[in-house]
Structure 1
Amino acid sequence: MTTHAPASLERLRFNMIEQQIRPWDVLDLDILDQLAVMRREDYVPEAHRALAFFDMEIPLDGSGVGSLPGQTMLSPRVEARTLQDLHVQKHESVLEIGTGSGFMAALLAYRAASVLSLEIDPTLAARAAQTLARNGVTNVEVRNADGATPLPSGPSFDVIVLSGSVARIPQNLLGSLKIGGRLAAIVGDEPMMRATFVTRVSESKWDTLQPWDTVAPRLLGFPETPRFNF
């Protein structure tokens, strides 16, 4: 049986799309339609559900025994713009680093053949897997794992998404892209980071674009930029 969100939630969802996402140059109608039907509020912790449609990162930590501090759900406009700029296709396989709430994995799964999502926090990994299953998302595998740990060698994925920021692109992940594959990450240090998209053009060549600026919390486990003391 299909359930419908109350009119007030639908108004908030409409406002999120029209006032936050579309003005951020997210103009792909398929993605806007997808965001209109996917229930973002179902992926937000109960304590913060009222914030589901606001232009902010939503805290995910403190929701269970053993959960790691500092975990957040990215803002809707960053999720949407990343999704648009990756151009995920129905036949493609996706690796996500940082499952978090599971919402970005659900967005990716809607457009891809399969998604493997790695989450370092076992509490979040278990909760995201349950949420995805409850919402009928069947082509995502959530795995409790450290995404900073080197993957088995060889090209395995068409798309790799880092759902958080890193100081620099992890070079080992580039080798896991198939030819024509794309990696998306938010790279740099506060107060300004760059959305970075790397395309594997050939066995030994990668093209890089940095089309927009934002700031996002760090993904756990990845190295920081060395600091020099004088």
Structure 2
Amino acid sequence: MVNRESTGQATELDIFVKTTLKPLVKTSLVLQAFKKVDRGNFAPEEYREFAYKDEAIDLTRSSSISQPSVVAIMVDHLGLTGKERVLEIGTASGFCAAIISQCSSHVDTMEIDEDLARESSERLRNLGYTNISVHVGDGALGLPTEKPFDAIIVTASVKSIPSALLDQLADGGKIVIPVGEDSPTRSQLIEGKKEDGKMSFSKIADVSFYPLVSSQEGGWSIEEVSELFSLREGRMKMLKEMKNQPDLQQLLNNILKTLTEIAGRPITSADEANEFLKQNPQILEDLDKPKT
């Protein structure tokens, strides 16, 4: 990456923040956070090229670094001023926690995957973040020992909002959380606010997140998401193979081009192709038929 201070030129990060995130963010505190936190430091080496694109980056079959625009919208809706104590559910790489740390006094972040939690804790420490605490645990239960929190952000889709999280929200506080209800991947991003002990909710946007797996209230069971995780794992393997075999990338491009022609609309990713084929299974049958 080009060093702006030594050259006077804008970096990839500067350009990305200005062109992609600035139109979405209302508060300067959040925008400045994205200028300070380099997403490239949180992306796996093999996916570093995607760090300054508005795309999610897979970490494991059940976790990813969320799309920057979605993170920006979520943090913006928390209404942080720099003084709040924040609970994050879903640490993943630590990127979102790092963003929040620039907008609050302290961040407690929870991750159910012990390996991810350990790696993120070490990464954040090495990068110099001193107001972030990483905890291993079930996100649906929250962190009752540290309550109340002025704000809670959940970066995994729940079936319903866990009451444990609402109990840990301070009066006057906000929670931003994706709720799937009928689907672990298709969610509504919900903002909730507690006033005089009562919650009110409003919809922010339609989003897609990895599911929050938990046996507790609000979580998805492993049985409900096992097929999804298998598909994600297969996609990750495919992408790694493509980096070493450019001909496979060309194959995917050809598939996407064909599906775009069939659908009459752009289909630009493996995820979109998979979803389109699941909704239209007859297409595979039609393609398999001999031409006459």
TM-score in same-fold range (> 0.5): yes
Q: CA RMSD for the aligned pairs?
A: 2.5
Give the counterpart of 2:110 among 118, 124, 127.
118
Give the counterpart of 1:210 among 196, 203, 206.
203
Show the 5 A alignment for 1:35-54.
35-54=34-53
Instruction: Provide Cα deviations, 1:31-84, integer angstroms capped at 9, x if missing partner.
Output: 2222122211101112211111122110112xxxxxxx3211100001111111
1:223 aligns with 2:223: no
Residue 18 of structure 1: how far off its partner (Å): 3.3
Q: Which structure ranks higher in relative contact order (CA pairs < 8 Å, sequence separation ≥ 6)?
A: 1
Instruction: Provide Cα deviations, 1:166-200, integer angstroms capped at 9, x if missing partner.
Output: 12211121011111011110112367421111111
Distance, in Å, in 1 between the alignment partners of 2:146 and 2:75 is: 25
Instruction: Provide Cα deviations, 1:66-107, integer angstroms capped at 9, x if missing partner.
Output: xxx321110000111111111113221111111001011111
Show the 5 A alignment for 1:98-109.
98-109=90-101
Residue 164 of structure 1 corresponds to 156
Structure 1: tracts of 5 or more residues without a match: 62-68
Show the 5 A alignment for 1:77-226.
77-149=69-141, 151-152=143-144, 155-188=147-180, 189=183, 192-203=186-197, 205-221=198-214, 222-224=218-220
TM-score by length of 1: 0.83
Percent identity at matched positions?
28
Distance, in Å, in 1 between the alignment partners of 2:118 and 2:10 is: 28
Q: Name the stretch that deviates more: 11-20 or 86-95.
A: 11-20
Contact 1:179/1:202, CA 8 A, preserved across alignment = yes
Residue 20 of structure 2 corresponds to 20
Residue 74 of structure 1 corresponds to 66
Distance, in Å, in 2 between the alignment partners of 1:114 and 1:45 is: 26
Distance, in Å, in 2 between the alignment partners of 1:166 and 1:220 is: 8
The size of the alignment, in residue pairs, is: 214
Distance, in Å, in 2 between the alignment partners of 1:145 and 1:93 is: 19
Contact 1:153/1:176, CA 8 A, preserved across alignment = no
Q: In the alignment, residue 37 of structure 1 is paired with which amino acid?
A: K
Q: In the alignment, residue 209 of structure 1 is paired with which amino acid?
A: S
Residue 150 of structure 1: how far off its partner (Å): 5.8
Contact 1:159/1:182, CA 8 A, preserved across alignment = yes
Contact 2:213/2:220, CA 8 A, preserved across alignment = no
TM-score by length of 2: 0.67
Contact 1:153/1:175, CA 8 A, preserved across alignment = no
Q: In the alignment, residue 196 of structure 1 is paired with which amino acid?
A: I
Greater Cα radius of gyration, structure 1 or 2:
2
- Relative to total residues, which structure has the larger helix share, 1 or 2? 2
Structure 2: tracts of 5 or more residues without a match: 225-292
Distance, in Å, in 2 between the alignment partners of 1:105 and 1:57 is: 16
Distance, in Å, in 2 between the alignment partners of 1:161 and 1:39 is: 20
Contact 1:82/1:184, CA 8 A, preserved across alignment = yes
Q: In the alignment, residue 130 of structure 1 is paired with which amino acid?
A: E
